[in-house]
Structure 1
């Protein structure tokens, strides 16, 4: 693991592997950094960098005090500090909440391209009716952290329903360790509910927006809306892939990423 000093005085920890242009992999909601292991094995021509998201497994003195209005700003600032500390301008590849972070970072930071798999943005009709953060908060106030995280998994990863959620969770690698992240996931989800996608995203570099036909409808709609809001964007939808596409089908996803990166105008 390597560390750099952030602008706020804290240390940023990240894992770097391989050689070539830096490619930063930003994980989503409750996925651990290990989520990217299958993807990293396919990216042989890049120096892959996986930062530890602030609050997700790191020690932050103000972690419990960070409000939902500050969560995204905190993560964007963290990635910007990482970008500034690298020896070359990187590519950002984000999944879910990490994809939203990557896009926001690219609005100002010196990066060469962005890949965003189903950014965690609620389309307006969905955002107006969103109540997951409120439901999670009530469960947390009652001391039911496990149930709060289960509601998040159920509604975000299985919005069309699942026959046996407990059996699925028993086979899901992040469970049950992610229960400890309940407070952070609540703040993150509240931030997503409050985020409004602008009509135009001021990102000057090329962006590849990815989605899967088996993913949640609101994230598929979000991905298309993000594509429409970007001035230089390509949209690719994978038949049969869900929200976890990068980990479940890394070769397919990385193939599209490499094609996109190879096609960029020098």
Structure 2
């Protein structure tokens, strides 16, 4: 499918696909991924929603404006441009760093609902992590694959990447620099004590995810005024791929219960 594009505030072209039928839902992928990371769960959501699936800046078919002056604010501006292209008021579903982007963008946008699957932020004892510096040190030493390994194991909570069926042949090692700059944003971000998010929000976590990820999800849930929390048994940080039907069912149930006019399939 040939992607469409929108132009963000700094002139960067952001590519996205549109598929499905129903109320609009914008899907924001994580740090080491592209829009292809939604391929497994997409069929389970497209039966009920019109999906807008972008490559976030710096990967896939999207531009990067040279990467100069990268910031979370630029990611938020990208989301704003995408929301303006949506036909209707969307739900935003963000996974990992995409969840952080969605959370940061939500106060500035007109949204229907918010779904956050283990948004990438640091809370409590996890504050002060220097993962970005440690990744950069390995990259500077010419160890690109090990830099990405460090991210997947530390940030993703994977005990060893060798257990992943796609490692290393299908790992997006070319995105290592992009992953590092996003981790600097994760380390700098501080969750407001009372986030200005006034739409119904579903926060999802996996039973087998790391304490870092689970603690962040729990903290976000506790601080958002209209939040509900779902824990998926037996899965970790990538239920989008390992348990797509179960995750999609949780998302669809949440939307139906908080928006009765959504069709029941």
The two structures have a TM-score, normalised by structure 2, of 0.91
Unaligned runs of 5+ residues in structure 2 are 261-265
2:48 to 37, 45, 49: 45
Aligned to 1:18: 20
CA distance in 1, matches of 2:257, 2:215: 25
In the alignment, structure 1 segments of 5+ residues that lack a partner are: none
Question: Partner of 2:84 in structure 1?
Answer: 84
Task: Summarize the alignment of residues 81-230 of structure 1 with structure 2, pairs less than 5 Å apart.
Answer: 81-128=81-128, 130-158=129-157, 161-162=159-160, 165=161, 167-168=162-163, 171-172=165-166, 175-230=169-224
**CA 1:174–1:263: 2 relative to 1, 3 Å:** farther
Contact 2:12 2:65 in 1 (8 A): no
Q: CA deviation at 1:11?
A: 2.2
TM-score by length of 1: 0.90
Partner residue, 1:31: 33
Give, in whole Å, the separation in 2 of the partners of 1:195 and 1:257.
26
Give the number of aligned pairs.
256
Q: Partners in 2 of 1:2 and 1:135 — Cα distance?
A: 36
Task: Return the alpha-carbon distance in structure 2 between the equivalents of residues 243 and 143 of structure 1.
Answer: 28
Query: Greater helix share, 1 or 2?
Result: 1
Q: 1:231 aligns with which of 225, 235, 238?
A: 225
**Other structure's SS at 1:107 match:** helix
The CA distance in 2 between the partners of 1:92 and 1:250, in whole Å, is 17
Alpha-carbon shift at residue 176 of structure 1 (Å): 4.5
8 Å Cα contact 1:31-1:174 kept in structure 2: no
Q: What's 2:238 paired with?
A: 244
Q: Give the direction of change, closer, same or farther, for the CA distance of 1:265–1:151 in structure 2 (3 Å limit).
A: closer
CA distance in 2: counterparts of 1:147 and 1:168, whole angstroms? 15
Structure 1 runs (4+) deviating above 6 angstroms are none
Paired residues of 2:96 and 2:117 also in contact (CA < 8 A): yes
**Paired residues of 2:19 and 2:52 also in contact (CA < 8 A):** yes
**Greater CA drift, 53-62 or 198-207:** 53-62
Shift of residue 248, structure 1, vs aligned partner: 1.0
Deviation at 1:123, TM superposition (A): 1.1
